Amino acid sequence: MSDLWNNLAIGFAAAATLQNIGYAFIGCFAGTLIGVLPGVGAVAAVAILLPVTFYLEPLSGLIMLAGIFYGAQYGGSTAAILVNLPGDTSSVVSCIEGHKMALQGRAGAALATAGLGSFFAGCFSTCVIALFAPPLALLAQSFGGPEYFSLMVFGLTGAIVLSRGSVINALAMISLGLLLGFVGIDDTTGGARFTLGFTSLLDGISFVPMAIGLFGIAGIIDNLSRPAHDRSVITDKIETLWPTREDFKKAWAPVLRGTGLGSILGVLPGGGAALSSFASYVVEKKVTRDPSSFGHGAIQGLAGPESANNAGAQTSFIPMLTLGIPGNAMMAILIGALTIHGIQPGPQIMTETPTLFWGLIASMWIGNLMLIIINLPLIGVWVQLLKVPYRYLYLAILVFSALGVYSLNSNVFDVFLMMMFALLGYIFIRLECDFVPMVLAFVLGPLMETNLRKSLLISSGDPMIFLQRPISLGLLVCTLALLAVIIAPSLRAKREVVFDEA
Amino acid sequence: MRQLHARAVGNRKFLNKKMGSGLLFLSVGVAALWIASDYPMGSAQNMDSGYFPRIVSVILIVLGCVDVILGLVFAGNGQTSPARTRWQAWVFILMALLSIGLLIESLGVVVATLTAVVIGSFASDGMTPKEVLLTALLIVLLVISIFIGGLGLPIPVWPEW
């Protein structure tokens, strides 16, 4: 236990410098600014703002990213509550009750509940990470090739659970992601693969153009290709921000339950913000004494999911930081960011760069605090921003994304790469192929190949090695169980229902 | 006449989403396998650069075939073809990005941004020329203050001649 406090002290000492708090502030502000834009989700916001953080030293860059991350997520909730337009799946649930509350003139209370619930969840899950990351990293240090390979298979299977559309499509998208991951020079043999003659592809497909193209630009194209929404922004009724005493009485239990649920679900592969908020909404609806109020602005249905999505978003850092395995799209983007800063996520990160690791954890808490400090008082600014028509905003995002991508390496090729991925992403959206599994597989592909090689080298080419090592066997059994659950008709129906609402 | 109509409907349903994704996966898989056939295979014990790519390509081809078959079987049975949407969106957004990529190094940030905003504005409908111009100028100001002033990027601002 004293270790924990020591570690956190190291982290806070590193993160809580005036300069870093400044970056957290800028990050949080910029993140909310982009995240609040209708139709732009947290993942897209982080992807778009990613290039800016590369100009800072690693820890400051990460702290700013954490700020962007929380800001974008809260911005998404704000847009969901006030305009009924969720940026991405994790704020879909906030639309249901939050927007109803806003329609009843309680937008202020809804926004404050979301903010305070998220803050509580953030504080709690920061402790969860500090508590559970070290033992998990210790365990992971005993992992060899076979264990890692099986773990990645498990992780990718988890990604299928939460992907939209058919299981076949999800599997195919994973294969596609693996293929994209092969592009460039093969680390082990030194041979160039799938470069199609482009020298710029020798280092592999750069992650940032891919992420912005898919999550940012493709979404813009999709938005513009549909008939314009009728957006009614609720603007005139935010007078009192503070929830009433009765609100507090109703909300505290859902906040606790949501935090607990989110903390657990966030760690699972495929888990994170979206899964947690859906699960929490379902739970709250089940346990409430007054189910009829749900769908009509029940504060429980907002407080629970909002806490859960923050807790889940945060604990999904655990597998990412300790194992190097991204559980969701956001973590894939953060792995990309870490790699560009020269940090390879994995069990060694904690022992090799403890300041960075604990600094990042401390910065999560700082990011959360920043959220409360800047977002609630500034709510008027965000409301004004929501009134800016989309047709001005998308042009700004477009130009900023292109220049941001160009600025990474001063290479025009990256801009064209982003363009290709924007087109590809739009095609995928139209064909109902979720590209999140593809991105996860892209990040994991090279690691998977390396570990497959290692494993088969040890076993002289015998694939049975994956079944002979107990941890690896256990993970593969879990994978099979997960697959069985996905294919089981009952859950399939539920998945469809959930995504139909989304 | 009725037959003709049925065939037209049939044709439309033939190109459903399943068929589309299936053909996409299939063609990428075949292309990847074809390219990877040049790479040394190695053995399971000593995998060379072609080993894993070939496995993944084959998996992708199989999954693509499954999608195509499902698309054929369920054609007209709940499988919808993609809904009609505005083509201007993707055409002009991509052209705007292309123009930035082509112009930024030779003509500088200002010209590239202005061009991209003007081209990109055709992606949405209902923007008047005045609106476009004002938006473009505002974005240029923001871009210069953030990317050149704030981050100090070594990008040419104006055309060099």
CB contact under 8 A, B44 and A463: yes
CB contact under 8 A, A172 and B60: yes
Q: How many residues make up chain B in this entry?
A: 161
Q: How far apart are CA A48 and CA A255, in angstroms?
A: 31
Residue B117, pLDDT score: 94
Residue B83, pLDDT score: 64
Residue B126 has pLDDT above 80, yes or no: no
- Point out the residue among B89, B126, B155 whose CB comes nearest to the CB of A221: B89
In chain A the first and final C-alpha atoms are separated, in Å, by: 42
Residue A490, pLDDT score: 57
Q: Is A214 exposed, middle or buried (0-12, 13-18, 19+ CB in 10 A)?
A: buried
Residue A418, pLDDT score: 95
Residue A87, pLDDT score: 63
Average pLDDT for chain A: 83
Select the more confidently predicted residue: A24 or A390: A24
CA distance A407 to chain B (A): 7
What is the Cα Rg of chain B in Å?
Answer: 24
Q: How far apart are CA A448 and CA A146, in angstroms?
A: 10
Residue linked to tokens 């078959």: B69
φ, ψ for residue A184 (rounded to 5)?
110, -170
What's the token pair of residue A362? 């401390």
Instruction: Write a three-state SS string for A228-272.
Output: CCCCCCCCCCCCCCCCCHHHHHHHHHHHHHHHHHHHHHHHCCCCC
- For residue B22, how far is the Cα from the chain centroid? 17
Exposure string for A400-430, b = 16+ CB within 10 A, e = fewer = bbbbbbbbbeebbbbbbbbbebbbbbbbbbb
Percent of chain B with pLDDT over 70: 84
Residue B2, pLDDT score: 40
- Point out the residue among B88, B101, B126 whose CB comes nearest to the CB of A415: B101
Answer positive or negative: Cα dihedral of A57, A63, A65, A71.
Answer: negative
Select the more confidently predicted residue: A292 or B112: B112
In chain B the first and final C-alpha atoms are separated, in Å, by: 66
- Point out the residue among A171, A391, A460 whose CB comes nearest to the CB of B45: A460
CB contact under 8 A, A402 and B97: yes
Residue B97, pLDDT score: 95
CA distance B32 to chain A (A): 8
CB contact under 8 A, A433 and B48: no
pLDDT digits (tens, 9 = 90+) for A168-220: 888 999 999 999 999 988 877 888 888 888 888 888 898 889 989 998 899 88
Residue B42, pLDDT score: 83
Per-residue pLDDT band at A489 (split at 50, 70, 90)? low
Q: How far apart are CA A157 and CA A339, in angstroms?
A: 23
pLDDT digits (tens, 9 = 90+) for A423-435: 999 999 888 888 8
Per-residue pLDDT band at B6 (split at 50, 70, 90)? very low
Residue B12, pLDDT score: 47
Residue B49, pLDDT score: 84
pLDDT digits (tens, 9 = 90+) for A104-145: 878 888 888 888 888 899 889 988 888 888 888 888 888 888
Residue A301 has pLDDT above 80, yes or no: yes
pLDDT digits (tens, 9 = 90+) for B64-93: 999 999 888 876 555 556 666 788 889 999
Per-residue pLDDT band at B14 (split at 50, 70, 90)? low
DSSP for A413-469, please give it. HHHHHHHHHHHHHHHHHHTT--SHHHHHHHHHHHHHHHHHHHHHHHTTT-TTHHHHS
**Over residues B19-38, mean pLDDT:** 92
Q: How far apart are CA A267 and CA A401, in angstroms?
A: 31
**Over residues A438-459, mean pLDDT:** 88
- For residue A166, how far is the Cα from the chain centroid? 22
Work out whether strand A192-193 and strand A184-185 pair parallel, antiparallel, or are unpaired.
antiparallel
Amino acid at A405: V
Cβ atoms within 10 Å of A17's Cβ, excluding its own: 15
CB contact under 8 A, B124 and A179: no
Q: Which of residues 58-87 of B touch A (CB under 8 A)?
A: 59-60, 63-64, 66-67, 70, 82, 85-87
**Over residues A5-25, mean pLDDT:** 85
DSSP for A137-153, please give it. HHHHHT--HHHHHHHHH
Per-residue pLDDT band at B1 (split at 50, 70, 90)? very low
Residue B141, pLDDT score: 92
**A294 shares contact with chain B (CB less than 8 Å):** no
- Point out the residue among B64, B135, B155 whose CB comes nearest to the CB of A392: B135
Name the nearest CA neighbour of B17 among B87, B56, B70, B95. Answer: B70
Residue B3, pLDDT score: 41
**Over residues B27-36, mean pLDDT:** 94
CA distance B36 to chain A (A): 8
- At CA A309, angle to CA A306 and CA A312, rounded to 5? 145
CA distance B161 to chain A (A): 20
Contacts of B139 in chain A (CB under 8 A): 395-396, 399
Helical axes A18-35 vs A354-370, angle rounded to 10°: 60
Contact B38, B53 (CB under 8 A): no
Residue B5, pLDDT score: 40
Residue B76, pLDDT score: 58
Residue A502, pLDDT score: 40
Q: Which of residues 34-63 of B touch A (CB under 8 A)?
A: 35-36, 39-40, 43-49, 52-53, 56-57, 59-60, 63
Q: How far apart are CA A79 and CA A382, in angstroms?
A: 9
CB contact under 8 A, B94 and A400: no
Q: Is A354 exposed, middle or buried (0-12, 13-18, 19+ CB in 10 A)?
A: middle
Q: How far apart are CA A97 and CA B91, in angstroms?
A: 38
Q: A214-223, A243-252, A392-401, A485-494: which range is least confident on average? A: A485-494
Long-range contacts of residues B140-146, Cβ cutoff 8 Å, at least 24 apart:
B140/B109, B140/B110, B140/B113, B140/B114, B142/A396, B143/A399, B143/A400, B143/A403, B143/B109, B143/B113, B144/B109, B144/B110, B146/A400
Of all residues in chain A, the one with the smallest CA distance to B111 is A399
Residue B114, pLDDT score: 94
Contacts of A179 in chain B (CB under 8 A): 28, 32, 53, 56-57, 60
Residue B57, pLDDT score: 95
Contacts of A217 in chain B (CB under 8 A): 93, 97
Q: Which of residues 389-428 of A touch B (CB under 8 A)?
A: 390-392, 394-396, 398-400, 402-403, 406-407, 410, 412, 415-416, 418-419, 422-423, 426-427
Of all residues in chain A, the one with the smallest CA distance to B25 is A172
Residue B160 has pLDDT above 80, yes or no: no
CB contact under 8 A, B49 and A193: yes
Percent of chain A with pLDDT over 90: 11
Residue A71 has pLDDT above 50, yes or no: yes
Residue linked to tokens 């998990």: A136
Residue B79, classed as helix, strand or coil, is strand
**Over residues A60-72, mean pLDDT:** 86
Residue A434, pLDDT score: 86
CA distance A156 to chain B (A): 14
Of all residues in chain A, the one with the smallest CA distance to B88 is A225
Residue A210, pLDDT score: 92
Residue linked to tokens 């990412």: A320
H-helix or E-strand spanning residue B129: helix B129-143
pTM of the model as a whole: 0.85
Select the more confidently predicted residue: A165 or A27: A27
**B117 shares contact with chain A (CB less than 8 Å):** yes
Cβ neighbors of A292 (< 8 A, separation 6 or more) are none
Complex-level ipTM: 0.88
**Over residues A352-359, mean pLDDT:** 85
